[in-house]
A and B are shown apart, each in its own frame.
Chain A
Amino acid sequence: MSKKDLGLLILILVVGAVVAIINPRFLLPINLANTSNLIGLFGILAIGQAFVIITGGIELSVGSVVALLGVLFVDFIATRGMAWPVALPLILVLGGIIGLAHGWLITRLKLQPFVVTLCGLLIYRGVARFYTADGTAGFAFGQNFPELEFLTAGRSYGVPNSFIALIVIAIVMWVVLHRSVFGRYLYAIGKNEEAAKYSGIRTGRVVMAAYVICGVLTALSAIYFAMYTRSISPASHGQFYELYAIAAAVLGGFSLRGGEGSLIGVILGTVLLQELQNLVNLLGIPSSLNFAVMGGVILIGVLVDQQWGVYRERRLMLEATRKGAAGAAAE
C-alpha cells in the first residue's frame, strides 16, 4: 500500500469516526451492510473505469451502459423467460462487445476517447429508452430467482454478496494491474504510448483490451444494479454513474493523463464517496446538497494531495542541500 493509499484510508477512518460520534446509527449493522452493498456495486464500476483511465483514456458511457444492459437483463429473464445462467454471460458478452467497439474506434480509427464514449453515453441511453418505449422494466409480482438474488442482493454472514464479489474482483484485478505483463503494458502505455510502441508493444491491442475489461465489469455491475433496484426506468437509471467511477479513480490517485494510480486507491476512492453519501443522509444535510458535498471533498482531496507533493519535493531539496553542506564541511 502506497503512502497515498494510506492517507486516503486514514481520511476514511477519520470521517467515519466523526460521523459515528455525531450519529451512532452510522455503525448499525444495517447501515454498514447497505453502505458496503453500494460500495460493491460502484466499486466494480470504478475498477473498470480505472483500467481505461490508466491508459490515458476515459469511458463516459458507463452510466448509460448500466441502464441499457440492466433493461436488457431484466427483460431477458423477466419477460422473455430466458434462464438467468444464460442471460448473465450474454450480458457480460454484450458489455465486452461495447468495450471492443469503443476500443476499436479509439485505437484503429484514432478517435478521441472522450468523443467516442460521449457518443456512447447518448446512444445507449436513447436505445435503452426506446427498447422499453420509455416504460419501466421490472419483475412481475411474485417472480423470483432465488439463486440469482442470493448472489447479487443476498448476504453471507451479514456481509452483502455484492461486496464479497467486489473483493474477489479487486484481488484478481490487483494481480492483473500490478503484477501481470498486461498490467505493466497498461502503465507503460499510460506513461508514454509512443515509447511503448517503439519498445515493440502492440499498444492498440492492449488499449482495446482495457476497454473490453471496462465493458465487461460495467455489464456485471449493471446486473448487480438491476437486481438491487429490481425496477429500471431507463431515462434515469445509472445517470452520472460514469462520474462516480471517474471521481473514485481520481480520489484514489489516478491521473487523467494516464500511467498513474493503484487498484487499492480506486477501491478506497469508492469507499470514501459512499461514506460521504451516507454522511449526507445521516447528518441531516439536505440531500439536494449531495453532489456539492462530493464535489467539494474531491476538490479538497486533490488539492491536498498536490500541495503535499510540492511540500515533499521542497523538503527533499532542503535535505539534499544540508547533506551537500555537510559534505563540503567534511572535505
Chain B
Amino acid sequence: MNYSDASIGASTIAPFLSLEGVRKTYPGVVALDGFSLEVRPGEVIGLVGENGAGKSTLMKILGGVTTPDTGTITVDGVAHDGLTVEASIGSGIAFVHQELNLFENLDVAANIFFGREPLRAGPLRLVDRTRLRTLAAPLLKRVGANFSANTPVSALSLAQQQMVEIAKALSIEARLVILDEPTSSLPLAETDKLLDVIKALKAGGISVIFISHRLHEVERVADRVVVLRDGMLAGTLPKNAINHDQMVKLMIGRMLKEREKAAESGRPPGAVALSAKAVRTSAYPDRPVDLGVRRGEILGLAGLVGSGRTELARVLFGIEKSLGGSLQLDGKDLVLGSAADAVANGIFLVPEDRKLTGILLDLSIAQNISLPNLPAHARRSLVSARAEAVTAEKQKRNLGIKAPSVATRTGTLSGGNQQKVVLAKWLAMSPKVMILDEPTRGIDIGAKAEIYGLMRALADAGVAVLMISSDMEEVIGVSDRIAVMHEGQISGILDKEQFSQENVLLLAVGKQPK
C-alpha cells in the first residue's frame, strides 16, 4: 500500500490533526482502508478523488457523525478512537458544506451566532442585537466580506453566503476548516474571492481541507494535495508537484483525455437552429438578449451566477414566459406557452438542479425515461411497461447507466448516473436543440468525460447544443463557441481562436476581450 510520505516539506510544528490507519466499512463496502493523514496548522490540504473514493466517509469521521472501525484520530495532541460531534466541534473542526445551512430569512449576524446569541440581562432572555452585530463585524472583516452584519442572507450571492459560513466557523474559534466542494456552484469571479478567503485563513494559522472537483482551483491554493481512490490514499503531491494531469492520474489510476476528445469538432456548424431576438427575462426585465445556437455546435454560455443565464434557459424551454422579444426555431417564429410546447418542438433542457427538477427520485429509471414521451409508450392511453423497459434498456446500454436494472429507483443512483437518466429521457426522443444547465456539477470525473462525449455526439448528429457552465475548464474545453453573459445581456461571443480564461472573465464582468 502506498503510504507516501505525508510529511514532505514538513516543519517541526506538531500537526493539528493526524489520522493513523483509519478503516471504515459499511455493509458490503470498504469505504476507507487504512487511511493516514496529517494536517499542520496553517496548512491548506487539497483533497481530491472521484465520487465514492471515500471523501464523504472521511468527512463524517472528522465531523464525529460516524466512528471508524479501527485507527486513531489525534487532534491537538489528544488521541481518540473516534470523535463525537461534540468532540469534533470542541476541538475546533468546522465544516462548510456544498449545500449551505443558512437561514435565508435572518440577517448575517443572526446566522453566525445562531443558537449562541448574546443575551440581554433579565428574565426574558432577549437577544442583544447590538452586541450581536459588534461581535459579527470583525469576523466578517477577517473573511474579507464587503457586506454588513445586518444584511439579510437572502440578499447575498452564493460566494457571500459561503463567507458567512466561514465567519460562522471562525466564531467558534475553528482551527481546521473543512470546505466541501465550496466552489461547485460558484461562478468564476466569486470563486476568486473564496480562494482569497482560504489564503486569509491560512495566514491566520488556521488549517484548511479543501475538497473540490475543480482541479485548477486546488492547484491554486493547496500546499499539498491528498488523492483518495477506492478508500485508499492514492498518493500525495507536494506543492511543487501539484498539477492537473498528476491529480487526474492518481484519481483514476490512468490518464484521461476527456476534454480533448470532447473538443474535437466533427464538422463545421450548420444553420441557426434556435434563436432568441430581444428576449427579456425576469432576471433583467429591461435588458433584451439576442442569442442563436447553430446546428452541430456546442455553444458554451458562460457568465457569473445571476447574470441571467438560467433564466434565459428557462425561457428557451418555455418554463418561464418571455417578457418580450421573440424566439425562432429553424427560422420560423416559435411561441412557447409551457415546457410541453418546447418538448413538442424538440427543445429539451437538462436543468441545473437534478434532484429537484431533472428527475423524479421516487420513480424508476424506466419511468423517468418514458415520462416526457409517455403516449408513445402507451396503447389506447394505457401505459405499456414493456415498451418502457425496451426504451430504457436501450438507453441504459447506450449511456452506460450503472444500475441493477431499469426498474431501479433513480433516487438510489449516484449523481453521475442520475444525470445520465436525465440525458437518456431526452435522447430517447429526437432532440433538435439540447440545453444543458451546469450538466456536470457534482459529478465525478469519469462520468464527466462520458457526458462531454455524449454532448459531442449530439452535436455531430446535427443537434444544436447550448451548455451553460460556470466551470471555466469545461467551458473552454468543450465548447465550439463561447457566449458570455453579463448582467442580462450577451457581452460577447468568442470563437475558438479567442478562447482563454482571461477573455471569458473580461466579458463576464462586462469588459472587452483582448
Q: Which residues of A contact B (CB under 8 A)?
A: 175, 179-185, 187-188, 191-192, 194-202, 204, 259, 317, 320-321, 323-325, 327-328
Contact check, B338 vs A317: say whether CB atoms are below 8 A apart: no
Partner of B360, one of A183, A196, A323, A324: A196
Contact check, A180 vs B381: say whether CB atoms are below 8 A apart: yes
Bound CA span A62–B356, Å: 33
- Which of the segments B193-201, B242-250, B269-277, B367-375 contacts the partner chain? B367-375
Contact check, B342 vs A200: say whether CB atoms are below 8 A apart: yes
Q: Min CB distance, B330 to chain A, in Å?
A: 19
Bound CA span A194–B357, Å: 6
Q: Min CB distance, A39 to chain B, in Å?
A: 28
- Those 3 A-B pairs whose CB atoms lie nearest each other, nearest first: A200-B343, A324-B27, A324-B28
Contacts of B26 in A (CB 8 A): 324
Q: Min CB distance, A259 to chain B, in Å?
A: 7
Contact check, B356 vs A192: say whether CB atoms are below 8 A apart: yes
Does B303 count as interface, using CB distance less than 8 angstroms?
no
Contacts of B361 in A (CB 8 A): 191-192
Name the residue in B319, B343, B359, B383 with the highest tally of chain A Cβ atoms < 10 Å from its Cβ.
Answer: B383
Name the residue in A185, A195, A202, A321 with the highest tally of chain B Cβ atoms < 10 Å from its Cβ.
Answer: A195
Contacts of B344 in A (CB 8 A): 200
Contact check, A320 vs B27: say whether CB atoms are below 8 A apart: yes
Q: Min CB distance, A53 to chain B, in Å?
A: 16
Q: Min CB distance, B334 to chain A, in Å?
A: 15
Q: Would A195 and B358 be within 8 Å (CB), given that A181-B375, A184-B367 are in contact?
A: yes
Q: Would A191 and B363 be within 8 Å (CB), given that A175-B382, A198-B339, A198-B358 are in contact?
A: yes
Contacts of B368 in A (CB 8 A): 199
Contact check, A194 vs B356: say whether CB atoms are below 8 A apart: yes
Does B349 count as interface, using CB distance less than 8 angstroms?
yes
Does B29 count as interface, using CB distance less than 8 angstroms?
yes
Contacts of B383 in A (CB 8 A): 179-181, 183-184
Contact check, B360 vs A192: say whether CB atoms are below 8 A apart: yes
Does B5 count as interface, using CB distance less than 8 angstroms?
no
Partner of A323, one of B28, B351, B375, B382: B28
Contact check, A195 vs B359: say whether CB atoms are below 8 A apart: yes
Contact check, A324 vs B29: say whether CB atoms are below 8 A apart: yes
Does B362 count as interface, using CB distance less than 8 angstroms?
yes
Q: Would A202 and B338 be within 8 Å (CB), given that A259-B362, A320-B28 are in contact?
A: yes
Q: Min CB distance, A256 to chain B, in Å?
A: 16
Interface of A, helix, strand, loop or mixed by DSSP = helix
Q: Min CB distance, B197 to chain A, in Å?
A: 33
Q: Min CB distance, A210 to chain B, in Å?
A: 16
Contacts of B338 in A (CB 8 A): 197, 202, 204
Does B494 count as interface, using CB distance less than 8 angstroms?
no
Does B101 count as interface, using CB distance less than 8 angstroms?
no
Interface of B, helix, strand, loop or mixed by DSSP = mixed
Which residues of B153-186 are within 8 A (CB) of A? Answer: none
Contacts of B317 in A (CB 8 A): 198
Bound CA span A192–B349, Å: 17
Q: Which residues of B contact A (CB under 8 A)?
A: 25-29, 317, 319, 338-340, 342-344, 349, 351, 356-363, 367-368, 371-372, 374-375, 378, 381-383, 425
Q: Min CB distance, A312 to chain B, in Å?
A: 16
Contact check, A191 vs B360: say whether CB atoms are below 8 A apart: yes
Contacts of A320 in B (CB 8 A): 27-28
Bound CA span A267–B340, Å: 34
Contacts of B382 in A (CB 8 A): 175, 179-181
Q: Min CB distance, A193 to chain B, in Å?
A: 10
Bound CA span A198–B355, Å: 12
Name the residue in B25, B28, B29 with the highest tally of chain A Cβ atoms < 10 Å from its Cβ.
Answer: B28
Partner of B349, one of A175, A183, A198: A198
Bound CA span A259–B411, Å: 15
8 more CB-based (< 8 A) A-B contacts, given A181-B382, A198-B358, A199-B372: A192-B362, A195-B358, A195-B360, A198-B351, A201-B340, A202-B338, A320-B27, A328-B25
Contacts of A323 in B (CB 8 A): 27-28
Contact check, A196 vs B25: say whether CB atoms are below 8 A apart: no
Partner of A200, one of B29, B340, B360: B340
Contact check, B340 vs A202: say whether CB atoms are below 8 A apart: yes
Q: Min CB distance, B370 to chain A, in Å?
A: 8
Contact check, A199 vs B27: say whether CB atoms are below 8 A apart: no
Q: Which residue of A lies closest to B341 (CB)?
A: A200
Bound CA span A259–B317, Å: 25
Contact check, A181 vs B378: say whether CB atoms are below 8 A apart: yes
Bound CA span A198–B388, Å: 19
Contacts of A325 in B (CB 8 A): 27
Q: Would A317 and B339 be within 8 Å (CB), given that A179-B383, A198-B349 are in contact?
A: no
Contact check, B360 vs A197: say whether CB atoms are below 8 A apart: no
Contact check, A200 vs B28: say whether CB atoms are below 8 A apart: no
Q: Which residue of B lies closest to A318 (CB)?
A: B27
Contact check, B372 vs A182: say whether CB atoms are below 8 A apart: no
Name the residue in A179, A182, A192, A317 with the highest tally of chain B Cβ atoms < 10 Å from its Cβ.
Answer: A192
Q: Min CB distance, A253 to chain B, in Å?
A: 15
Contact check, B374 vs A184: say whether CB atoms are below 8 A apart: yes
Bound CA span A179–B360, Å: 18
Contact check, B374 vs A191: say whether CB atoms are below 8 A apart: no
Q: Min CB distance, A38 to chain B, in Å?
A: 32
Contacts of B27 in A (CB 8 A): 317, 320-321, 323-325
Contacts of B360 in A (CB 8 A): 188, 191-192, 195-196, 199
Contacts of A187 in B (CB 8 A): 363
Contact check, B319 vs A198: say whether CB atoms are below 8 A apart: yes
Contacts of A184 in B (CB 8 A): 367, 371, 374, 383
Q: Min CB distance, B26 to chain A, in Å?
A: 7
Contacts of B357 in A (CB 8 A): 194-195, 197-198
Q: Would A327 and B374 be within 8 Å (CB), given that A197-B319, A198-B351 are in contact?
A: no
Bound CA span A158–B27, Å: 58
Q: Min CB distance, A231 to chain B, in Å?
A: 42
Q: Min CB distance, B140 to chain A, in Å?
A: 35
Q: Which residue of B lies closest to A175 (CB)?
A: B382
Contacts of B359 in A (CB 8 A): 195
Q: Would A191 and B339 be within 8 Å (CB), given that A181-B374, A197-B319, A320-B28 are in contact?
A: no
29 A–B pairs (Cβ distance < 8 Å), ordered by A = A180-B382, A181-B382, A181-B383, A182-B381, A183-B383, A184-B371, A188-B371, A191-B363, A192-B362, A194-B357, A195-B357, A195-B359, A196-B371, A197-B319, A197-B339, A197-B357, A198-B319, A198-B339, A198-B351, A199-B360, A199-B425, A200-B339, A200-B342, A200-B344, A201-B372, A324-B25, A324-B27, A327-B28, A328-B25
